[in-house]
């Protein structure tokens, strides 16, 4: 089955630090990757959609300068949380889908980000 | 407002009982997916339904897609403690490419 690897799984860092999270599709080419944020016991909230070789599309209310997304290849997308603050602490999850209609999204295992 | 209304929000049952989770919408979906998520992990895809009226079975889990492709249900027969988790429905509304998620159903199966 399709495997999406997300790294790191957990980050604890000081306020003001920038943190990079990687999302890789291991056995398929992902033309589109998605970044989500999830609060405890809640559903996933889409932050942005990233397409290989083009700028990411951000959802309303998501600061593009705060959450930098790069999708440099068909198997890798990165999310950088710049100058992170405690309110950025959350569970961040990426997903990837292959080419073609009705392709399901396959999710990474998420990154627990804790800003002190 | 969420495009997909998922219910119930919480479900706590005894081992061996049956349960059903519902996802309803006024929008038409080109496909609908069900995921299960455990704490600290990403959602794991259980099934994708595409055709109106489609029924898919995965061992003790039965998934149904409404005839009009606006709603879906997940039925678990003889639930086991291993079925405990957060169940999420997610649909691709026509003609969008972005998944719309339901609010999730936290299922707890007591031994």
Across residues A71-86, what is the average pLDDT? Answer: 93
Of A43, A95, A112, the CB nearest to B103: A43
Of the residues A26, A31, A102, the best mutation for testing chain B's interface (the one with the most B CB atoms within 10 Å of its CB) is A102
Report how far apart, in Å, the C-alpha atoms of A20 and of each of A66, A108, B53, B77 are.
12, 15, 43, 42
Evaluate if residue A102 carries a pLDDT over 80: no
Cβ–Cβ gap A34/B45 under 8 Å: no
Chain segment B41-97, per-residue pLDDT in tens: 999 999 999 999 999 999 999 999 999 999 999 999 999 999 999 999 999 887 777
Q: How does pLDDT run across A42-60, given as a tens digit for each residue?
A: 889 999 998 888 889 999 9
| Residue recorded with tokens 């083009």 | A54
For chain A, count helices (H), then strands (E): 0, 11
What pLDDT is recorded for position B73?
98
Mean pLDDT, range B21-47, rounded to an integer: 93
Q: Is B6 a residue whose pLDDT tops 70?
A: yes
Q: Which of residues 40-59 of A touch B (CB under 8 A)?
A: 41-44, 46, 49
* Res A1: pLDDT: 65
Residue A30: how many other CB atoms lie within 10 Å: 30
């Amino acid at each position: 089955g399709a495997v999406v690897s997300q790294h790191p799984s957990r980050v604890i860092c000081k306020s003001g630090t920038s943190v990079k999270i990687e999302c890789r599709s291991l056995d398929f080419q992902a033309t589109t990757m998605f970044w989500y944020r999830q609060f405890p016991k809640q559903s996933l909230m889409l932050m942005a959609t990233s397409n290989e070789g083009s700028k990411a599309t951000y959802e309303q209310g998501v600061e593009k300068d705060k959450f930098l997304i790069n999708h440099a290849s068909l198997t890798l997308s990165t999310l950088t949380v710049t100058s992170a603050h405690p309110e950025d602490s959350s569970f961040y999850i990426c997903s990837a889908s292959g080419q073609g209609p009705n392709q399901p999204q396959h999710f990474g295992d998420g990154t627990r980000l804790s800003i002190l | 407002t969420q495009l997909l209304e998922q219910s119930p929000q919480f479900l706590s049952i005894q081992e061996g009982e049956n349960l059903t989770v519902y996802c309803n919408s006024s929008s038409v979906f080109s496909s609908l997916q069900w995921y299960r998520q455990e704490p600290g992990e990403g959602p794991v895809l259980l099934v994708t339904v595409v055709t109106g009226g489609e029924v898919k079975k995965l061992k003790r889990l039965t998934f149904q897609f409404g005839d009009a492709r606006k709603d879906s249900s997940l039925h678990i027969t003889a639930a086991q403690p291993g079925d405990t988790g957060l169940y999420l429905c997610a649909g691709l509304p026509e003609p969008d490419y972005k998944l719309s998620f339901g609010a999730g159903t936290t299922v707890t199966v007591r031994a």
